[in-house]
Amino acid sequence: MFDLILTVDYELFGDGSGCIDACVIAPTDEILAIANTHSAPVSFFVDASEFAAIRDLAPTLGIAAVEAQISAAADNGHRIELHLHPQWHGAIRRDDGWKLDYDKWRIGDLSEAEIADVASVGLDYLHSLAPSSDEHCNVFRAGGWAIQPSTATLKVLRDQGILMESTVAHGAYNPAGGDWYDFRRTPKQPFWTIENDVCEAAVGHAGNLIEVPICTAKVSRSDHARALREHRQHASMPEGCAGSYDGPNNRWQTIHGKLTKLARLGHVMLDFSTMPGWLLIEITKDYMQRFSSSGTRVPIVAIAHNKNFTRQSADNTRRWLEWASEQPELQFSDYLNWYRAVTNTDSDSKAMS
C-alpha cells in the first residue's frame, strides 16, 4: 500500500516579498478546493518564523487571513507542520520592506541554542493556531532544504517531541555557498530512522526521528526538457502575485548554483506546483514500482509552494489526483496517519518518542 502525502510549503518569498492575498491565501484556497474533492488531507509546512514576525511587526499586511485559513484547514482534517526560515528571526520592519538576516538563512549553520530559540518561537506560534497538539506539528521541514549539517537541528527537534523529518529529496544538490544542500547520497529506502545525519540510516529506533523524504525521480532528459518547456509557457506565479528570489548568495554563487542545477537536469521532485500532470503521474508510478516489494506502507511525499501554484498548476494537480484516486494501491494520507500505521500506534503516538 502507498500513502500519497500532499505537502505545501506555506509562505511568502524568502526575502519577505509577495503579498499575502495573491501569493498565499488565493492559491491555498485553490489547493484546498482540489484536495477536498478527493477528501485528501494536505500537510501545510507553515513558515512559523515568518508569520510570527508578521504578526508581531506588521499585522496589517494580512496576518488575520493567514491565521483564519490555517485554523480552518486544521479544523477540517488538514495538518499543520513545522517549517522554519530562520532569516525571519529578529526581522526588522521598515517603511520600504523587511530587513531579514541572511546570515541565518540556513538552519544548519545556526548554533543549537539559536535553533532551539527559533523552533520554540515557531512551535508556540503554530500551537496557538492549531491547539490540538497531538495532531499537528509532528513533522519538520527546513526552509530552503538547508538542514545540513543536521546534528544540532535533530537534537532540538527530538527535544521538542517532533516525530518525523521531511526535508531530504534524494538526488537534489545545490552547491551555492549561501543556501547549499546536498542529498546526492541517501539510503535507497522510502523512509529511515535518523540520529545525527538526515542522509544516514541510524541503527535502532529508540528516541530517534524518522526521515520521510520528498519523493524524487530521475526522469529522462527529454521528458525533463519537455516539462520545463511546458512550464515556461505559463505564468510561474499565481495571478496578482509578484515576488523575488533574492537570498544570501552573491552573483557568482547564484550563477554557479544555476549551472550545477542545469547539469543535473533529470533529477526532479514530485512537485505539483511546477510539473505537468503527465509527469506527476509518471513519477508517482515510477516510485510505486521502485518500492512495490518493500512489504510496508510506503509514503510518497509530494511538494508544492503556494507562491508557485498557478491556474496551470491547478489543472495539472486535478488531472494527477484524479488518476491517483483510481489507483487501488494508493491512498491519500498524511504523515501521522502513515506513522501510526507503520509503528502500530494509535492516538498515543507521542509515547513512541
State the nearest-atom distance from the C-beta of 16 to Zn ion, in Å.
13
Closer by beta carbon to Zn ion, 208 or else 306: 306
Closest distance between Zn ion and the C-beta of residue 353, in Å? 25
> Of the listed pieces 5-13, 61-69, 146-154, 252-260, which binds Zn ion according to CB under 5 A?
5-13
Within 10 angstroms of residue 1's Cβ, the number of other Cβ atoms is 12
CA-to-CA distance for 88 and 143, rounded, in angstroms? 11
From 10-18, 67-75, 153-161, 293-301, span contacting Zn ion (CB under 5 A): 10-18
Q: How far is the CB of 335 from Zn ion (least distance, A)?
A: 17
In whole angstroms, the minimum distance from the beta carbon of 243 to Zn ion comes to 13
Residue 31 beta carbon to Zn ion: minimum distance, rounded to whole angstroms: 15
Give the closest residue to 116 by CA, choosing from 159, 156, 86: 156
* Nearer of residues 11 and 271 to Zn ion, judged by Cβ: 11
How is residue 100 annotated by DSSP?
A: -
Per-residue binding string, Zn ion, 11-50, x by CB under 5 A, is: x---------------------------------------
* Span from 142-150, 207-215, 315-323, 329-337 in contact with Zn ion (CB under 5 A): 142-150
Stretch that binds Zn ion, among 9-17, 287-295, 315-323, 327-335 (CB under 5 A): 9-17
Residue 241 CB partners (closer than 8 Å, separation 6+): 18, 19, 22, 23, 26, 27, 307
Cα–Cα dist 281/283, whole Å: 6
Q: Which stretch binds Zn ion (CB under 5 A): 67-75, 141-149, 165-173, 267-275?
A: 141-149
Count CB atoms within 10 A of the CB of residue 113: 10
> Closer CB to Zn ion, residue 110 or residue 324?
110
Measuring CA to CA, which residue among 248, 258, 270, 81 is closest to residue 171?
A: 270
Q: Which is nearer to Zn ion, 44 or 192 (CB)?
A: 44
Q: C-beta of 241: minimal distance to Zn ion in Å?
A: 15
Residues binding Zn ion: number (CB under 5 A): 3
Among 122, 143, 178, 277, binds Zn ion (CB under 5 A): 143
In whole angstroms, the minimum distance from the beta carbon of 12 to Zn ion comes to 9
Minimum gap (Å) between residue 206 Cβ and Zn ion: 31
CB 312 within 8 A of CB 211: no
Angstrom CA distances, 57 to 94, 306, 345, stand at 10, 23, 41
Candidates 221, 142, 139; CA nearest to 174 is: 142
Q: Does residue 9 touch Zn ion according to CB under 5 A?
A: yes
Grid coordinates standing for 124? Answer: 508556540
Task: Find the binding residues for Zn ion in span 172-231 (CB under 5 A).
Answer: none
CA–CA gap between residue 241 and residue 308 (Å, rounded): 9
Window contacting Zn ion (CB under 5 A); options: 64-72, 91-99, 139-147, 309-317: 139-147
Beta strands in the chain (DSSP E): 2-10, 42-47, 79-84, 92-94, 97-99, 139-142, 164-165, 173-174, 181-182, 192-194, 209-211, 216-218, 267-269, 298-305, 330-332
Question: Around Cβ 132, how many Cβ atoms within 10 Å?
Answer: 11
Q: How near is the Cβ of 313 to Zn ion at its closest, in Å?
A: 17
Do 195 and 207 meet the contact criterion of CB atoms below 8 Å apart? Answer: no
User: Cβ closer to Zn ion: 86 or 276?
Assistant: 86
Choose the stretch contacting Zn ion; rule: CB under 5 A; options: 137-145, 191-199, 239-247, 264-272. 137-145
* Residue ranges that bind Zn ion, judged by CB under 5 A: 9, 11, 143
